[in-house]
Amino acid sequence: MTKHFSEADLLETYYMQPDEASEIIAHVNGCGDCQNRYRRLAEKLRDIAACDTDKPPTFWARQRLMIMRAVDSAREQSGRASRIARVAAAATLAFVLGGAIVYKTVEPSLKKAPVVVSQQTAAPAPSADDLQIPRDPWQSDELKDFGTVVQWESWVGDNGGSSL
């Protein structure tokens, strides 16, 4: 059983010097499958060689337009990204400065002497005898300034207890 050559092997022989590819050419001359593959490969290469490589002006205009659109889009996106970066930097700066200002205003109040909270025990409630409550409410210290107003009671009592 003989080895059949692939299209890649046959393509190599297409570009080799005749004395280097003599073994493969000898096989192709004796094998029908490899001859068919070689013919198809040669046909493909001829078709490619006959292809017109000149492009019409509309092709190049379309290519130029597509490239310019891509460039404009990239510029717009980079401008948008730089704007976002500037806004983010400004917000960060404002946050840091605001924090520093708040820290500086709060800091002096923190340096004051600490407030000591001491526990106080409740004094026992004084008995009713200890309280200095006057028996007559009109004799209290709070009502001394209103003495003239309080005087009316004295004339109410003089008229028989009824002012009406």
Looking at the fold, whether 44 and 60 belong to one and the same domain comes out as no
Quote the number of domains for the chain: 2
Residue 70 belongs to some domain of the structure:
yes
Domain span at residue 76 reads 56-110
Question: Residue 11's pLDDT is what?
Answer: 79
Looking at the fold, whether 60 and 92 belong to one and the same domain comes out as yes
Per-residue pLDDT of 81-129, as tens digits, reads: 888 999 999 999 999 998 888 888 776 655 665 666 667 776 666 555 5
Averaged pLDDT for residues 36-47? 86
* Closest CA relative to residue 96, chosen from 86, 88, 108: 88
Q: CA torsion, points 77, 81, 82, 83, in degrees to nearest 10?
A: 100
Residue 156 belongs to some domain of the structure:
no
Question: Residue 151's pLDDT is what?
Answer: 62
Averaged pLDDT for residues 15-24? 77
Please check the confidence at residue 49 and state whether its pLDDT lies above 60.
yes
Least confident range of 23-37, 53-67, 72-86, 127-141 = 127-141
If residue 111 lies in a helix (H) or strand (E), which one and from where to where? helix 57-111
Residue 115 belongs to some domain of the structure:
no
Per-residue pLDDT of 10-19, as tens digits, reads: 778 777 777 7
Residue 2 belongs to some domain of the structure:
no
Please check the confidence at residue 160 and state whether its pLDDT lies above 70.
no
Question: Residue 15's pLDDT is what?
Answer: 76
Looking at the fold, whether 29 and 75 belong to one and the same domain comes out as no
Q: At what angle do helices 32-50 and 7-15 cross, to 10 degrees?
A: 60
Looking at the fold, whether 105 and 78 belong to one and the same domain comes out as yes
Looking at the fold, whether 43 and 60 belong to one and the same domain comes out as no
Q: Is the dihedral of CA 154, 158, 161, 164 positive or negative?
A: negative
Question: Residue 125's pLDDT is what?
Answer: 62
